[in-house]
Chain A
């Protein structure tokens, strides 16, 4: 009896053991060991700014699918150098870009046209008759961008407008994607002077909706040259050309929407 049991159990163990050994050999998943090493190099913020679901996925995409090595915004130049060295490729780091909310019309300067008493979310508010702000392009201030930000770099001020703290921003673009008004843009970190308006409406409409809107007068193009360009009735900063006489341009802007962002004010 004892012998039979021992043989049966032992036999089963032997069969299973062999099966497992075969499975381990033939069904093994070969993962490139470089993926793990590269994941270690990446910053580990898992912000998704590269377009992949976290740092691990991005590392896999670089090695397996040959994705661009330059997509990690939070990493900056240093990590890019590390990735490039690891992959044995040349990559030049562009300047770090940070997000900015191109609207200066807070509650004091841009009136609301009705009382919105619903879900406190910009996308929800925007779906109700294009938002409660008189200006169709202005920041609604319900904080969808701030909630999307993985590093809490966006603040909704007491006067109801979103402000990005550039020194905290890691450049992942999540806020850019979530804003229903499309008024968050990525700008070079070194630049401090921007057109804080995104309204392409004609001057009289802008005037009625906001005290600090761009009315499309073209004075900035006149005084700032190629550092500004017109997009319909909206002036936009051309970040490739520095502004020569910044003070004059800021001073001349009748809408007061060209503003130099002070580090202290934002920080």
Chain B
């Protein structure tokens, strides 16, 4: 067990105002069961789950209500016991519509029968992956990539490094920070389980240096672990927590264009995901709740709230005492990569890391101007892209050139738009270009 400073510096990046003090000192609070839980079938990357319940069914907590539809998909479980009130498409935080199951809790919160694996050391790794798949775990840092897929690398791609991502570089968010303080031992055990599954020799827990207490906590929790174990202290900066950037900071290897971390022998798991894996294996519990940071200056009492998946944003806000001042913008997730919301009639998913309320003086309306070729976006881009040029290509609907100059490598971190003095909607252009190109590719395929 060793503590080291990161040797490799990521390219570009920005330093936004962090405002983590609003919620960092608040212990995780459990939210009581709300009157309604609306559980979306599309909480993860990949194919939405197929609902397996009908209106009027009674369900128990942890019961499967949506089956994984394919390999890159994840199962969805009932977040509490109760009655299915409706099955209807509902808006998700990203703006898309997806089938959702409305559950009215009965207040008893009774679990289905759970199979625990406290002696996981003796369990077959393949069975452990199955447990992860059956419990519906997906990346809880934001993207929601199904975890069992990450844990099933093909045999020709051996994994030697497991990185546990505790960077939490998004401003305002403190959910992962609190998890590391309050559940350090469980996260350490979760990391050991994943390490066993992958057969990874090296374990690196990467944390930004603005969370010294979390670094200490993880160090204490990992001190008895055998093998090559490191707590890696990252320089505070955005986007240190992005997967590809974190791999570079940790082991100095670049994930090839269009490739996956497994191509360089690494797997990155968020601390929240690691804790969920621990809960799934040791306690047999499917993923039915998560910690969300409800924060922002207009919020009465900002904090880190553990709520059931499917909780309405309005209920989350009420639990935090509502707002004191005027709210100009609501963002699901962090301010850099989150999605602005027009209504609080949206529910949490496995990936809702934060719910941020911004005051009028923090939000400006702007008119986008032509690019002045200053190059600030190029300096800021952690992926070595030229966002200004890509955005102009997409504006001109020249998607072929945009693809040639690697728009698909964009990680949508928002550094370019953050820096742009002409207020160009660079990230929106990137997203538009990426979805257009991917759609074209899918059409070509079938």
Which A residues fall within an 8 A CB radius of B?
113-115, 117-119, 123-124, 127-130, 132
Is B429 a contact of A128 with CB atoms below 8 Å?
no
The 6 closest A-B CB pairs, nearest first, are: A129-B95, A114-B342, A118-B425, A119-B425, A118-B428, A119-B428
In the complex, how many angstroms separate the beta carbon of A262 from the nearest chain B beta carbon? 35
Q: Mark B394-412, 1 if CB is under 8 A from A, else 0.
A: 0100000000000000000
In the complex, how many angstroms separate the beta carbon of B100 from the nearest chain A beta carbon? 16
Within the assembled complex, what's the spacing in Å between the Cα atoms of A132 and B95? 11
Is A117 a contact of B366 with CB atoms below 8 Å?
yes
**A127 surroundings in chain B (CB, below 8 A):** 95, 431-432, 435
Verify if B122 is at the interface (C-beta below 8 Å from A).
no
Within residues 411 to 446 of chain B, which ones have a CB less than 8 A from any CB in chain A?
A: 425, 428-429, 431-432, 435
**B209 surroundings in chain A (CB, below 8 A):** none
**A114 surroundings in chain B (CB, below 8 A):** 340, 342
Within the assembled complex, what's the spacing in Å between the Cα atoms of A124 and B435? 11
Is A117 a contact of B365 with CB atoms below 8 Å?
yes
Contact A113 B342, CB 8 Å, known A119-B429, A129-B95: yes
Within the assembled complex, what's the spacing in Å between the Cα atoms of A255 and B51? 38
Contact A128 B432, CB 8 Å, known A115-B365, A118-B425: no
Verify if B97 is at the interface (C-beta below 8 Å from A).
yes
Is B428 a contact of A129 with CB atoms below 8 Å?
no
**A129 surroundings in chain B (CB, below 8 A):** 91, 95, 342
Known: A117-B365, A130-B91, A130-B95. 8 other contacts (CB 8 A): A113-B342, A114-B342, A115-B365, A119-B368, A124-B428, A127-B95, A127-B435, A132-B342
18 contacts between A and B (CB under 8 A): A113-B342, A114-B340, A117-B366, A118-B425, A118-B428, A119-B395, A119-B428, A119-B429, A123-B432, A124-B428, A124-B432, A127-B95, A127-B431, A128-B95, A129-B91, A129-B342, A130-B91, A132-B342
Main secondary structure of the interface of B (DSSP, over half): mixed
**B429 surroundings in chain A (CB, below 8 A):** 119
**B431 surroundings in chain A (CB, below 8 A):** 127
**A123 surroundings in chain B (CB, below 8 A):** 432
**A128 surroundings in chain B (CB, below 8 A):** 95
**B95 surroundings in chain A (CB, below 8 A):** 127-130
**A124 surroundings in chain B (CB, below 8 A):** 428, 432
Closest A residue to B91 by beta carbon equals A129
In the complex, how many angstroms separate the beta carbon of B53 from the nearest chain A beta carbon? 26
In the complex, how many angstroms separate the beta carbon of A205 from the nearest chain B beta carbon? 14
Within the assembled complex, what's the spacing in Å between the Cα atoms of A114 and B346? 15
Within the assembled complex, what's the spacing in Å between the Cα atoms of A130 and B214? 40
**A130 surroundings in chain B (CB, below 8 A):** 91, 95, 97
**A113 surroundings in chain B (CB, below 8 A):** 342-343
**A132 surroundings in chain B (CB, below 8 A):** 342
Contact A119 B432, CB 8 Å, known A127-B95, A130-B97: yes
**B428 surroundings in chain A (CB, below 8 A):** 118-119, 124
Within the assembled complex, what's the spacing in Å between the Cα atoms of A117 and B432? 15
Within residues 328 to 367 of chain B, which ones have a CB less than 8 A from any CB in chain A?
A: 340, 342-343, 365-366
In the complex, how many angstroms separate the beta carbon of A129 from the nearest chain B beta carbon? 3
Within residues 88 to 131 of chain B, which ones have a CB less than 8 A from any CB in chain A?
A: 91, 95, 97
Within the assembled complex, what's the spacing in Å between the Cα atoms of A188 and B340? 42
**B365 surroundings in chain A (CB, below 8 A):** 115, 117
**A119 surroundings in chain B (CB, below 8 A):** 368, 395, 425, 428-429, 432
